[in-house]
Amino acid sequence: MVAPPAASAARFSRFVPEVKARYDYGVIIFILTFALVTVSSYCVEDLIEFAHERLTTILVGVAACLFTTFVFPIWAGEDLHNLAATNLDKLAEFLEGILESECFGENSCERLEGRAFLRVYKSVLNSKAAEDSLCALARWEPIHGKFRFHHPWSQYQKIGALCRQCASSMEALASYVVTSKKSQYPEANPELCVKVGAACGAMSSRSPKTLRELSSAVRTMTTPSPTNDDVPAAIGTTASDFIAELSEDEALLQVMQAAAIVSLLSDIVTQIKKISEAVEDLARLARFEKTQRTGHAVVVNIED
């Protein structure tokens, strides 16, 4: 009488999001074992012995997995950690490409065609499935390296979500820049090009360095340098001043394109500030090593 309710409870428990995320594989093994034992009870004389053999098989499989893991471990937590740092590097690479290619300058459409940095953010946009899978597996792993029990794995998902938001703005910016170069900027007023380049350079000059520092802090598990809270406000002021300074004599389409590009860059800088705050929270929750910079020297203090 207990068997049907137990089987039904196991079956429908897979619809609970928390159970499916963390215990789905175990529930599937339970259902398969239950069905195997139940069906075999009609043709196996010693059911207890059969159930014992099935349980022994499962334990042997678990022992083999644990032995393989400790002999040559491949840690999901470490992969998730490296994925977060790699995503930050790719966002920085996009902004560095924007600056180095001078893509906001005049007549630079040819230099943009086929440039790799215009597509580097796409892998960040497609990283959610890998992050969720690695995060679910990392919660089961024992202490390894600098990863302690109750490591804040969910914080990596938060950082990943913010990185994808930033990558979405970069995708819009890349599409806007390439489209505007092809359709408008070759005939654009040179003075407008200079204004756009100056405003965009002022807003994006510090962002790649910030992302590189955050990536390095995550990789080395050290506390990142404090961020400047005035940067987003200053960037917003720069964008507002630029839009206000646009001449009324300029063509409306040119003004709209320039304002859209500057607005997207301003949004990217604001999102980078949020990423920086999320990395700082990760450093605090995971008790990263504290760094104290004096001149060119770096002193590392390990938090107890």
Provide the mean pLDDT of the chain. Answer: 76
Q: 120 and 94 in contact (C-beta within 8 Å)?
A: yes
* Distance in angstroms (rounded) separating the CA atoms of residues 76 and 144: 11
Domain harbouring 267, CATH code: 1.20.58
49 and 143, same domain (yes or no):
no
Which among 71, 93, 110 is the end of a domain?
A: 71
Residue indicated by tokens 């500030």:
273
Q: Is the pLDDT of residue 252 over 70?
A: no
131 and 203, same domain (yes or no):
yes
Tens-place pLDDT, residues 73-107: 888 999 999 999 999 999 999 888 877 765 555 44
Percentage of residues in the chain with pLDDT exceeding 90?
24
**Max alpha carbon distance in the chain (Å)?**
94
25 and 139, same domain (yes or no):
no
280 and 240, same domain (yes or no):
yes
- Check residues 262 and 60 and name the one with the higher pLDDT: 60
Q: What band does 152 get if pLDDT is binned at 50, 70 and 90?
A: very high
Which among 71, 88, 121 is the end of a domain?
A: 71
* Distance in angstroms (rounded) separating the CA atoms of residues 296 and 304: 25
- In the chain, the N- to C-terminal Cα span, in Å, equals 54
Residue indicated by tokens 């004599």:
249
Domain carrying residue 265: 76-301
Tens-place pLDDT, residues 99-119: 776 555 544 444 555 567 778
| Count of structural domains, the chain | 2
61 and 180, same domain (yes or no):
no
Q: 94 and 170 in contact (C-beta within 8 Å)?
A: yes
- Output phi, psi for 26, to 5 deg: -65, -40
* Distance in angstroms (rounded) separating the CA atoms of residues 10 and 18: 14
- Output phi, psi for 154, to 5 deg: -65, -25
* pLDDT at res. 1: 44
* pLDDT at res. 300: 43
Q: 185 and 109 in contact (C-beta within 8 Å)?
A: yes
* pLDDT at res. 119: 81
User: Taking the complete model, does pTM exceed 0.85, yes or no?
Assistant: no
47 and 87, same domain (yes or no):
no
- Residue 62: partners with Cβ closer than 8 Å, 6 or more residues away: none
Tens-place pLDDT, residues 154-200: 999 999 999 999 999 988 888 877 666 555 544 455 555 566 666 66
* Distance in angstroms (rounded) separating the CA atoms of residues 291 and 297: 10
Question: ∠ CA(273), CA(241), CA(271), 5° rounding?
Answer: 15
Which among 42, 71, 100 is the end of a domain?
A: 71
94 and 177, same domain (yes or no):
yes
Q: Which DSSP state fits 289?
A: B
